[in-house]
Structure 1
């Protein structure tokens, strides 16, 4: 990169640092006055809905991180993936060649593969509605009330596939007060965003609200051979809300949301020279080449109707009816060269209907919730593995229909004024019907092409399977004082089994067999405490998980790198243990410090792997490590409030850290070292005005998030001994955002 280009990229960062340092100097001048005031306020009460009812964070015996809309705004959180920096032992990232597909892991448990038919290990919720597919789940922060991250199995109350935890995107509720908000943002790489939101009463008991956002940015790099933007952003999102309160006991709420992502499909950065074109790795990790169009389209959304009826002062009935659907049309060039060595165009379609009936009770010594849940979902897709230089295309396609039924209940009872007991359980039954095909064609094909006669049928089968499980939870909570609570719990987690949608029976005759559910038993001890007249809050959790039948998707090049074998492993046994700390200190009436620290020790005990090249099952537990699971995570954030420039000024600055990460279960060149990011910002409020200057990744730290690894064979010295899949050495990485600076101006009417 030229000196001029480097200076151009540094200029916004220098501007942000200069402004923040200048504002900090103003803050220092006001600090003596703040210290003399000695009016140290206690920390605000944080409300969460971790147990499906509104509670004080400090009384909930679950490890929960809650970030309010104001906190996220002041910390520069732009979308759901940014939340990972403020929740210990949490990974929320954009998946590989996409822009809005989510890869989520909590405490080492998740699902890397976003292919249809596979279930996530972390449940994503919009309010009380489960989002079954990860496409479009990297939601921008738009008119949100808060985001909650629940760590550890949440199956008793949340059900499907919350074996690692749950992430709740809680939207802003309608109050009936007329309002209209507008915010515009300009930033690095020609960022230009616009957010509009508002609400108004249509009558005394009927309110309507809306939110709309458009998020746009040029690419961080280019596709060198076409000139198209790489890592650009072109997203629109909207939401409509209605609320009707016909009586004090009854409320009816409706919400509809839709997201359109037309950003370009991402091109990967080649870590090694191309065997075909001789292309060397580019200077910028955001530059790439492609042999396909960069068109990408993701449209996802849904509708939800929630009825709540207060039967009496103790009992409340709730009904949640929801529908969601999504369509994806994308082109991902795995080898990232101008030749069609290994290209993957794909189409996905999914839809889901869910119905939940819920009964809440809060009567004296009893608090609890129980209910019935039903899901009817269908996920379909087709993708091509284009081996253009070999003159052939492998086509995978099919559908999975899922019907899930569940009944659950969980309650807490006060055995004494200080001691309470929690018992709960959920019975789940999933029935899955799958059809899978895998065809070999001569020539190059795309999903939209007309039907043709294949050269070879490698898989073509239909099958059904039923999975069921009772998942219990038990716990004790003891209130040592008004400000200190300790708890211990045991929770069983369950993630449904299924079928491998890439099954290649010509290589693995058992590929059509269903894989089993995942099971985890988690034991957790926690302490939630407030000290110094509620100016210091410390929440600590330590946990141990016994993890069985972990589902791991493995793809290997076989038959001298002319074909691909896929399998979903129930990878034997593993154990996970760790500690989490979250602390907040109101050091003065103006200065607040926030810190979190997470530690995870995750180990495989046994991994039974069918090696298609050897044709037998082997134990590879000594070679494997947990993917997307850094041993250490943490952040340290300072916030300073003062009166300045005729209004209120909030200065924020912080460091976020993640230790080294292995991208896949097996070691590869993609594995990445530790990363520390520096963010800083200034938010100014006066009357209805709000102005924010935000700098993210101010040291311009380069860090890899994901990649594809179809490496060419190598000898013991690392020398390439032959071509890889498609004739190429495909080792490509995808990276986090570089340094960016943005300025936002908002007004509330």
Structure 2
């Protein structure tokens, strides 16, 4: 079913008697059409029909959401023009603008576990500042993964996949009742495939996949008023790296830097393949206690991530085996503990409802990132190393009240007070090097400094919604968003490393309508929004120096989203969306550069998707065909808006054809993704002095067959 802001349908998520999906976007169970915020929901059946496997697949189908990536692990989101750039993610103390939750637990660093093993009930995407209802504050928006709770229903699900690039995937999930009060669910997933690129120097495929994930959940319901869920998941990934393809700027004679480069974008010339290793662990305890005056929820979580990478980002075979090489390497260990307490309540016969809560987050990150430069002629090798150790603490009090002024007219008031502190030790120094090492390593002076900073912020929210008829909801809201500051992780100087960049703030204004027509055969939803940002955090590559994070003085954003679902006849559904976005810096300068008037990074002006789905009985069997097409306008990866940093317009075509047995006890499907074989960069690094354009790419055309059965 279509995924649309505030109107998305999902066939098999929790639904009410009228068939509408029930979501918890406002921390209470509501029909999606009754939620007066911009939220997109994907049910588990839709995730399967659209062959959604990654957060990038979700972004393709969600208006206002963009996803790029420097590597296959860490996705950089931008929601309605606001996102954390890769330069900020390289800082041990940097925070995301778009926050990811897995069953309520903040997934701050290191990406998310394999989505398949989660046994997802739904995925919710909330756009705009979120802070009055959720523990961790989010200035841009939230992506929330909600898995099924263990239940008394005994079930087992198995899925096997084979595809091109020798892809093999196996998923097994089960649920069982241990007693009449204790339920257990568990899952295991393994995926592997050959690489999408070929390294001519080593003779190996690179950018492959090899990931295994396990998950278990135990639920104890001793009484009608107490519900306890313990969850744990572990994921391990070990694969070759993602070397960059060197696209030399054809307007410039790059000399030795461009000689011998294979023009095929799926071929690289790196002296090593690189590597990506990641282990994530997440453990949580959720307790829900019904009281006479409301429901008290406690969520305690511990999350650990160990991430190691080695990426050849510039390689040139000028005289094999002697090469010019630049390599990024690093290791990060992140540990976070969080505790959230929430109380949901209502009064005055339901006219007043609300939630209040407190949240505490303790996060420790130790990161070592470095760069190696190798030059064949003359023989020079240099190593620059940037250790970072950051301790972050966050405490917040938040809450929101909904009051029914008169029947069908409801006012909302919310607020959040956040206190944060970050402290750390930052160093930068050179290893052994020969004479004449060029920048950036040649200009790096050694330093070892400590720094600390505190911030606090008050972020209110005001909203009004009117249920004009049973099928029409009108709403308007004003909200203030906040994201904490941080420190430069890859600074070229001691002063830069010890000087924090400031928090960013935003005032967001939105009006919207959610409507159903012709006995729900037609659904049209629309939203208009405007956002005023101050001190927006932007990372910029300073040529022959480093990545610098600075605060853009101001940015203004405005946009519109319109989405439609049509069900003209039984079994047929057509759905589509269009998003228009105007996101620009109103004031932004750095030494030697003026970016005022430039577009914000990863902010396409136009984006649309259209899908069609047809399901029909085939005797005792059933058949289903789903086709999705999307198109995204061009954008830029950095604030400079130079042509070399362009994120070109691109399209995506996915399709899936399936046949299912009686009661869907088994299913055979054939699927394809990126069927037009579009070449889409996921990021661009540009070194202007040498005209080097270094690019990783999204997956090419993939296809395969999947067989699944359940009991």
Counterpart position of 1:420: 410
Q: Once superposed, which parts of structure 1, at least 4 consecutive aligned residues long, lie more than 6 Å away? A: none
1:256 corresponds, among 214, 232, 237, to 232
Q: Does 1:441 align with 2:431?
A: yes
Q: Report the alpha carbon displacement of residue 275 of structure 1 after superposing the two structures with TM.
A: 4.2
Q: Does 1:709 align with 2:686?
A: yes
TM-score w.r.t. length of structure 1:
0.86
Please identify, of 341-350 and 416-425, the stretch whose mean Cα deviation from structure 2 is larger. 341-350
Q: Report the alpha carbon displacement of residue 159 of structure 1 after superposing the two structures with TM.
A: 4.8
Residues 31-55 of structure 1, C-alpha deviations (whole Å, 9 max, x = no match): xxxxxxxxxxx98301211111221
Counterpart position of 1:378: 364
Contact 2:614 2:625 in 1 (8 A): yes
CA distance in 2, matches of 1:511, 1:299: 28
TM-score w.r.t. length of structure 2:
0.91
Contact 1:335 1:731 in 2 (8 A): no
SS in 2 for 1:406: strand
CA distance in 2, matches of 1:231, 1:284: 15
Residues 252-309 of structure 1, C-alpha deviations (whole Å, 9 max, x = no match): 0011111212122111221118744654443532221212342220111210100000
Give structure 2 stretches of 5+ with no counterpart: 1-16, 318-322, 435-441
Counterpart position of 1:71: 46
Q: Does 1:82 align with 2:57?
A: yes
Gap change, CA 1:66 and 1:297, over 3 Å in 2: same
Q: Report the alpha carbon displacement of residue 743 of structure 1 after superposing the two structures with TM.
A: 0.7
Contact 1:101 1:138 in 2 (8 A): no
Counterpart position of 2:116: 141
Contact 1:698 1:739 in 2 (8 A): yes
SS in 2 for 1:81: helix
CA distance in 1, matches of 2:610, 2:563: 10
Please identify, of 112-121 and 209-218, the stretch whose mean Cα deviation from structure 2 is larger. 112-121
SS in 2 for 1:542: strand
1:352 corresponds, among 318, 321, 336, to 336
Residues 328-376 of structure 1, C-alpha deviations (whole Å, 9 max, x = no match): 1110111134535321111111010000000001341112111000000
Counterpart position of 1:234: 210
CA distance in 1, matches of 2:133, 2:305: 26
Residues 671-713 of structure 1, C-alpha deviations (whole Å, 9 max, x = no match): 132112121111221131011111111121222221221232x
Give structure 1 stretches of 5+ with no counterpart: 1-41, 445-453, 559-563, 612-617, 713-723
Counterpart position of 1:459: 447
CA distance in 2, matches of 1:108, 1:138: 26
CA distance in 2, matches of 1:156, 1:255: 25
1:394 corresponds, among 381, 384, 387, to 384
Counterpart position of 2:188: 212
Counterpart position of 1:330: 309
Q: Report the alpha carbon displacement of residue 730 of structure 1 after superposing the two structures with TM.
A: 3.1
Contact 2:93 2:422 in 1 (8 A): no
Residues 403-438 of structure 1, C-alpha deviations (whole Å, 9 max, x = no match): 100000101010000110000000000011111001
Gap change, CA 1:161 and 1:552, over 3 Å in 2: farther
Q: Report the alpha carbon displacement of residue 603 of structure 1 after superposing the two structures with TM.
A: 0.9
CA distance in 2, matches of 1:350, 1:654: 37
Gap change, CA 1:385 and 1:171, over 3 Å in 2: same
CA distance in 2, matches of 1:512, 1:179: 55
SS in 2 for 1:415: strand
Mapping of residues 528-677 of structure 1, within 5 Å:
528-558=514-544, 564-611=545-592, 619-622=594-597, 624-644=598-618, 646-666=620-640, 667-677=642-652
2:81 corresponds, among 97, 108, 114, to 108
**Per residue, is there more strand in 1 or in 2?**
2
Gap change, CA 1:397 and 1:668, over 3 Å in 2: farther
CA distance in 2, matches of 1:433, 1:162: 21
Counterpart position of 1:451: none
Gap change, CA 1:519 and 1:467, over 3 Å in 2: same
SS in 2 for 1:735: coil
Number of residue pairs matched by the alignment: 666
CA RMSD of aligned residues (A): 1.9
SS in 2 for 1:141: helix
Counterpart position of 1:46: 21
Residues 357-403 of structure 1, C-alpha deviations (whole Å, 9 max, x = no match): 00001341112111000000011111111122243211111111001
Mapping of residues 476-491 of structure 1, within 5 Å:
476-491=464-479
